Amino acid sequence: MDLEALNKIAVKMVTPGKGILAADESTGTIKKRFDSISTESTFEKRRDWREMLFRTDKAMQDHISGVILYDETIRQDAKDGTSLVDLLHANDAIPGIKVDMGTTPLAGRPGETVTQGLDGLRERLAEYYELGARFAKWRAVIEISHPDQYVGATPTLGGIKANTHALGRYAALCQEAGIVPIVEPEVLMGGHHSVERCHEVTEMALNSLFTELYEQGVALEGVILKPNMVVAGQKCADQPSREEIAERTIKVLKDTVPAAVPGIAFLSGGQDNEEATRNLDMMNKIGGFPWKMTYSYGRALQQSALKAWMGDDANYDAAQIAFYKRAHMNGLASKGEWSSALENA
């Protein structure tokens, strides 16, 4: 493991004003996105959509430090025969790869899941490195049960530990392969839970994660954390202010995340576009933490561009303009420089 090289990549991934584009939707997930714009999800259409994003040069060069790719995408060529990986390199964006294989029910833990993909991962990482990947992503899913559920309530400590142990093993294999691991323990924001309950569960998950990373020998200087923000469930009647979200999120991170971690790239987790931007901005306006705080958004970066595109090449320019705006707004938020006036300009 070349820790200096890993740290250099990790630091670049959280360059101020830049964040990570999550373009790693599985074939099934991107089909749902395309269904929303009445567009058939074909190999060519998926290529055209991602190529359009990667060729939005100003957005990519100014506000995107890296792109998480899917197995199909890292092997794809653009219409003119240029590999999509080379398109990223041309805009100084680091190619990354999603390596987990999704979730499966966790034995003995009703209502909980564990992420699959460790079998054969060493060999897959070696291949992805040859294909150009210099970072990877693995997502663990942690769901909070209804507040009134006492029997079989989730998450359990055993469920959290199963997922963070897998994250630790994945991260160690990545670093062995010369690849920076993004570790993503996502506490889902659906449901009825309060912001206080999200705070508690997020703290449990992050404490467990960093224990596992230590025990697996993972060098924190070569890791990026991709956590949820501390928010109430979407069905909770009592929704916190953005100030409370920011303050609670910062507190949880200060209580659990070592300063050696170069940066934190938040997932949007179902927040709408402006909400995800606004909450990131508020944290950076408050400041006072040792890590760079930026974004690793998928839908919250792409949705407005997808609606502008509608699967039609005639809308190419409009889609790129929409993508640039969201990237620009989030780039400002990563420095605490966003405002509603700029959003509405």
Angle at 319 between CA 313 and CA 322, to 5 degrees: 175
Cβ(138)–Cβ(166) below 8 Å: yes
b/e code 29-64 from CB counts within 10 Å (16+ = b)? ebbebbeeeebebeeeebbbbbbbbbbbeebbeebb
Q: Where are the alpha helices (DSSP H) in the chain?
A: 3-13, 27-35, 43-54, 57-63, 71-74, 84-90, 121-131, 157-176, 195-215, 242-256, 273-286, 299-309, 316-333, 340-344
**Candidate list 184, 186, 203, 212, residue with the active-site label:** 184
pLDDT at 151: 83
Cβ(67)–Cβ(92) below 8 Å: no
0.95 surpassed by pTM: yes
The Cα–Cα gap between 282 and 270 comes to: 18
Contacts of residue 181, Cβ cutoff 8 Å, sequence gap at least 6: 135, 136, 137, 138, 170, 171, 174, 175, 218, 222, 223, 224
* Environment class of 161 (CB within 10 Å of its CB; exposed 0-12, middle 13-18, buried 19+): middle
pLDDT at 152: 85
Per-residue model confidence as pLDDT tens digits over 121-151: 999 999 999 999 999 999 999 999 999 888 8
Token pair 């959509």 is at which residue? Answer: 49
Residue ranges, the chain, pLDDT below 70 = none
Nearest to 53 by CA among 33, 32, 35: 33
- 176 counts as catalytic: no
Cα-Cα-Cα-Cα dihedral sign, residues 27, 29, 32, 37? negative
Q: What is the H or E stretch that residue 224 is in?
A: strand 224-225
The Cα–Cα gap between 209 and 207 comes to: 5
- 226 counts as catalytic: yes
Cβ(228)–Cβ(283) below 8 Å: no
Cβ(114)–Cβ(102) below 8 Å: no
| Residue 291: how many other CB atoms lie within 10 Å | 19
- Tell me how far apart the 2 most distant CA atoms of the chain are, in Å: 58
Domains along the chain?
Answer: 3-344 (3.20.20.70)
Cβ(171)–Cβ(183) below 8 Å: yes
**Candidate list 18, 98, 137, 226, residue with the active-site label:** 226
b/e code 203-228 from CB counts within 10 Å (16+ = b)? bbbbbbbbebbeebebbbbbbbbbbb
Token pair 């040792």 is at which residue? Answer: 290
The Cα–Cα gap between 246 and 284 comes to: 9
pLDDT at 257: 98
pLDDT at 345: 87
Q: What are the DSSP calls for 120-181, one per residue?
A: THHHHHHHHHHHT--EEEEEEEE-PPPTT--TT-S--HHHHHHHHHHHHHHHHHHHHTT-EE
Per-residue model confidence as pLDDT tens digits over 159-188: 999 999 999 999 999 999 999 999 999 999
